[in-house]
Structure 1
Amino acid sequence: INSKAEWQLVTQYDGWPNGLKIHRDGRIFIADYRRGLMILDPGTGKVEPLLETAFSEGFKGLNDLHFADNGDLYFTDQGQSGIADPSGRVWRLRAGGELQRLVHNAPSPNGVTLNSKNSQVFVAMTRSQQIWRLPLMEGGTPSKTGVAIQLSGGHAGPDGIEMDEADGLLVCHLGVGIWRFDANCLPTHLAHAGSEHRLMTNIAFKEKTLYITDSLNGEILTADMPVAGKRMFSHL
């Protein structure tokens, strides 16, 4: 989609794509609910599987993903998990190919991102209305995972999340809008587009402009934010 709102279809394939992120080499990595991790070549439109199983077992249903600065890929495995079935998982695929499970008891893990120092992983837990924080020790092992933000209200909980360059966390809160929390996880801003835009589900920055997907109406909205988005792996 260009600045004139003109768009073209890059690919259409047999799958259920959810989140995507762009690698530094230009490849597009897709979290596919049905097929696992997929890779799209934007030049040819060809989509190929990267990781369809974890340790000989199928995924529950992938949702979102995020690259660390070193090329490690963090992704959420949501499936039908929730408060009554807290069996969602958070995975890390090391740049060298090693798959590691970081969380196994998550109530509906959804959006995922890292702070600017790559020392903390943030994960949106949709059905428990929470943002979890996973501090990473040297070597990458999570330690003392806890709740960074507790939400309430809306139609559900948090969906897509992203960081800005001041370590502010932007949160898509279904039925409410887009929250911005500062580095201390205190709310500073709320982008709200009225009752006709209830399901703003995912976000991406271009400098201080926040692009927002409205999955209910099939629209892309924008909001001017006080801080630019953090630099992504695709731009390092």
Structure 2
Amino acid sequence: MPTDPSPLPADRTPRPRPRAALAAVAAVGLLALTGCGTETAAPATPRAAPAGEGRSIRATQVAHVTDPHEATGQTLLEGPLLDEDGDLYVVDVTAPAGKPKVISVDPATGRHKGVYTDNTGAYTSAQRSPYDGRLYLSDYHGSVVSIEPDGSDRRTFFSGEVDGSPMNLDDIAFDDEGDLYVSDLHGMKPGEATGRIVRIDRDGAKATVLADGLAHPNGVVFDPALRGLWISELAENTISYLRLDAGKTAVTSQHEAIHVNAGVAQTDSIAVDADGNLYQALHGRPAMAVYSPDGERLATVEIPAKAVEGLESATNVAITPGGTKAYMTVSGPAGGHVFAFTAPGRGIRQSNGG
């Protein structure tokens, strides 16, 4: 897939863009595809957590990173990823050609700068490989690319069909050896369950379908022991568990573990902390549901009522490795924002990017 990649100048900060109609979003090749719902939900309204949602964890804003783009009428932040210096990387799924698609944010000051852009990618997540340390970006159009943390040295890691079918990629998880596990939305046609979880060897040479027949799989993440994968199916509002064999090349069992009562919202990306707690982001509501590994609803992470207007979705979270400071990406007509909160458990690699 031809691109014209170019790292952005180190001091270039994305500037607010005027809002525009949604009609131009086709230039990026998606509508409200990922973050990622099948349709844009109505703006959320302030309310207390209903019964069964556990305690409420309040998040506070640390950065206003983007505004809707003139070319697409949207902005959608995803894939928060902390580096060893404490800087946060996010991707803007709907950024048009030439605008920052990977952005570095300083959580302490809220300052941010674009570090990478190209002309064609619609990047839905970011992860750092434990094998080579590079940033891996999933492109909704069906490829995985990698870059250095400064945005340089773009490489196409994988692109093309798998088992004769093109992919529409969303999230990424890594095992300890650097093999990738990606969620494939596979077209996202309403009423069709054709999504897949695909394993790609760390050299990018071999891709294997681990699970198929899924209803728009979005989040994918390992449990802390790396015995299996938690996945969220956006069209079913469910979290399922896929136990893997010793080589992590095949699914040995699969079951629906949690049904998320989310109303108009849908299950987006998912993360896991050191205690095995699940952080389920909600597309269509600027909030995140927290579950124990046994399926108990522990808490709901919510933003302050005064900040809700114009923010419609929480897409993902990064928890500081070894700590409990967490950063959640939230977006809507009011722009793309980062909110911070205290997580119930400590961060690990499985709660940092994806």
**TM-score relative to the length of structure 2:** 0.62
Deviations 1:45-99 (A, max 9, x none): 3422111113474533101101112222110111433661101111011235432
- Structure 2 SS opposite 1:189: strand
Structural mapping, 1:104-183, within 5 Å: 104-140=212-248, 141-176=250-285, 177-183=287-293
Structural mapping, 1:1-236, within 5 Å: 1-2=105-106, 3-14=108-119, 15-24=121-130, 25-55=132-162, 57=164, 59-81=166-188, 84-95=191-202, 97-140=205-248, 141-176=250-285, 177-193=287-303, 194=305, 195-196=308-309, 197-206=311-320, 207-216=323-332, 217-232=335-350
> How far did 1:137 drift?
2.3
Unaligned runs of 5+ in 2: 1-104
| Mean CA deviation greater in 37-46 or 108-117 | 37-46
Q: CA separation of 1:100/1:203 partners in 2, compared to 1, >3 Å: closer, same or farther?
A: same
The separation in 2 between residues aligned to 1:121 and 1:152, in whole angstroms, is: 21
Q: CA separation of 1:82/1:126 partners in 2, compared to 1, >3 Å: closer, same or farther?
A: farther
Q: CA separation of 1:55/1:82 partners in 2, compared to 1, >3 Å: closer, same or farther?
A: closer
Greater C-alpha Rg:
2
Higher relative contact order (CA 8 A, sep 6+): 2
- Structure 1 SS opposite 2:253: coil
Unaligned runs of 5+ in 1: none
| Mean CA deviation greater in 47-56 or 28-37 | 47-56
The answer as to whether partners of 1:75 and 1:112 remain within 8 angstroms in 2 is yes
The answer as to whether partners of 1:33 and 1:79 remain within 8 angstroms in 2 is no
Q: CA separation of 1:44/1:180 partners in 2, compared to 1, >3 Å: closer, same or farther?
A: closer
**1:134 maps to amino acid:** L
The answer as to whether partners of 2:273 and 2:350 remain within 8 angstroms in 1 is no
- Structure 2 SS opposite 1:26: coil
The separation in 2 between residues aligned to 1:163 and 1:56, in whole angstroms, is: 30
> How far did 1:18 drift?
0.5
Equivalenced residues, count: 234
| Mean CA deviation greater in 88-97 or 13-22 | 88-97
The separation in 2 between residues aligned to 1:87 and 1:149, in whole angstroms, is: 20
Q: CA separation of 1:16/1:159 partners in 2, compared to 1, >3 Å: closer, same or farther?
A: same
Q: CA separation of 1:187/1:44 partners in 2, compared to 1, >3 Å: closer, same or farther?
A: closer
Q: CA separation of 1:138/1:42 partners in 2, compared to 1, >3 Å: closer, same or farther?
A: closer
**TM-score relative to the length of structure 1:** 0.91
The answer as to whether partners of 1:16 and 1:35 remain within 8 angstroms in 2 is no
**2:114 maps to amino acid:** L
> How far did 1:144 drift?
2.3
| Mean CA deviation greater in 180-189 or 42-51 | 42-51
The answer as to whether partners of 2:179 and 2:200 remain within 8 angstroms in 1 is yes
Q: CA separation of 1:231/1:62 partners in 2, compared to 1, >3 Å: closer, same or farther?
A: closer
> How far did 1:188 drift?
0.7
| Mean CA deviation greater in 6-15 or 191-200 | 191-200
| Mean CA deviation greater in 108-117 or 203-212 | 203-212
The answer as to whether partners of 2:318 and 2:351 remain within 8 angstroms in 1 is no
| Mean CA deviation greater in 103-112 or 45-54 | 45-54
Aligned-CA RMSD value: 2.1
The answer as to whether partners of 2:198 and 2:210 remain within 8 angstroms in 1 is yes
Q: CA separation of 1:114/1:232 partners in 2, compared to 1, >3 Å: closer, same or farther?
A: closer
Higher strand content, 1 or 2 = 1
Identity of aligned residues (%): 21
